[in-house]
């Protein structure tokens, strides 16, 4: 935030309120280290999408690496678990079973179930077969497929074609 030239006062009030709330919820010893990037990502997640994008864009203008890191921290496994099924199904249709197998490999049961519940039962069985057939999987291969998957969903969310419950707007 210190690198930004101009900032909307309302945005600053929101950041201040979010930081105060976070401070109430944690007790930090003087010797504890705080990951500022994660804290900022947590604050930005509570803001509406336009303000979030505005802050990230300004950060990226002065420090592209920092902007990319914060953008990546903003989109988490929890977001995918909370994503609307329709958008997720559209993305999964474009992927091969083996790609999905790599994406779900080593993930939480909740994340795995979210993806597997958004494909047909026959495809689910095929994905699980692919996962079993490719074990053990190289961590770099799993990370690569997961990164591609997350990037596509993050772009969809930024474009407004992916809805994530609890992020930004409220839906009925």
- Residue 78's pLDDT band, with cuts at 50, 70 and 90, is confident
| pLDDT, averaged across the chain | 84
Dump pLDDT digits (tens) for 97-152.
Answer: 999 999 999 999 999 999 999 999 999 999 999 999 999 999 999 999 998 998 89
Residues 146/108, Cβ–Cβ less than 8 Å: no
Tell me the H-state helices in 46-120.
49-62, 64-74, 77-81, 85-93, 97-104, 109-116
What is the C-alpha to C-alpha distance for residues 86 and 64, in angstroms, rounded to an integer? 32
If one compares 75 and 90, the residue with the highest pLDDT of the two is 90
Residue 91, CA distances (Å) to 32, 53, 107, 141 in order: 40, 23, 18, 19
CB-CB neighbours of 44 under 10 Å: 22
- Residue 49's pLDDT band, with cuts at 50, 70 and 90, is low
- pLDDT at site 139: 94
If one compares 13 and 77, the residue with the highest pLDDT of the two is 77
**Percent of the chain with pLDDT strictly greater than 70:** 84
pTM over 0.75: no
Considering the chain, tell me which residue range(s) the CATH 1.10.220.30 domain(s) occupy: 77-159
What is the C-alpha to C-alpha distance for residues 168 and 172, in angstroms, rounded to an integer? 13
What is the C-alpha to C-alpha distance for residues 37 and 131, in angstroms, rounded to an integer? 34
Please name which of 99, 164, 94 lies closest in space to residue 126, comparing C-alpha atoms.
99
Tokens (6 digits) for 72: 């990546």
What is the C-alpha to C-alpha distance for residues 107 and 53, in angstroms, rounded to an integer? 28
CB-CB neighbours of 78 under 10 Å: 15
What is the C-alpha to C-alpha distance for residues 147 and 88, in angstroms, rounded to an integer? 15
Domain 77-159: which CATH class?
mainly alpha
- Residue 25's pLDDT band, with cuts at 50, 70 and 90, is low
- pLDDT at site 47: 73
Average pLDDT in the 5-14 region? 73
- pLDDT at site 170: 57
């Amino acid at each position: 935030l210190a690198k930004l030239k101009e900032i909307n006062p309302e945005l600053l009030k929101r950041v201040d309120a979010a930081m105060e709330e976070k401070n109430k919820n944690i007790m930090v010893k003087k010797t504890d280290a705080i990951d500022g990037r994660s804290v900022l990502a947590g604050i930005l997640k509570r803001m509406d999408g336009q303000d979030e994008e505005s802050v990230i864009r300004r950060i990226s203008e002065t420090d592209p690496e920092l902007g990319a890191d914060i953008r990546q921290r903003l989109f988490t496994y929890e977001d995918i678990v909370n994503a609307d099924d329709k958008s997720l199904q559209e993305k999964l249709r474009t992927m091969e079973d083996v790609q999905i197998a790599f994406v779900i490999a080593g993930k939480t049961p909740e994340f795995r179930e979210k993806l597997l519940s958004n494909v047909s039962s026959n495809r689910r069985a095929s994905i699980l077969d692919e996962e079993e057939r490719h074990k053990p999987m190289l961590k770099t291969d799993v990370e690569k497929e997961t990164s591609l998957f997350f990037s596509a969903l993050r772009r969809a969310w930024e474009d407004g074609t992916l809805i994530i419950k609890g992020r930004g707007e409220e839906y009925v």
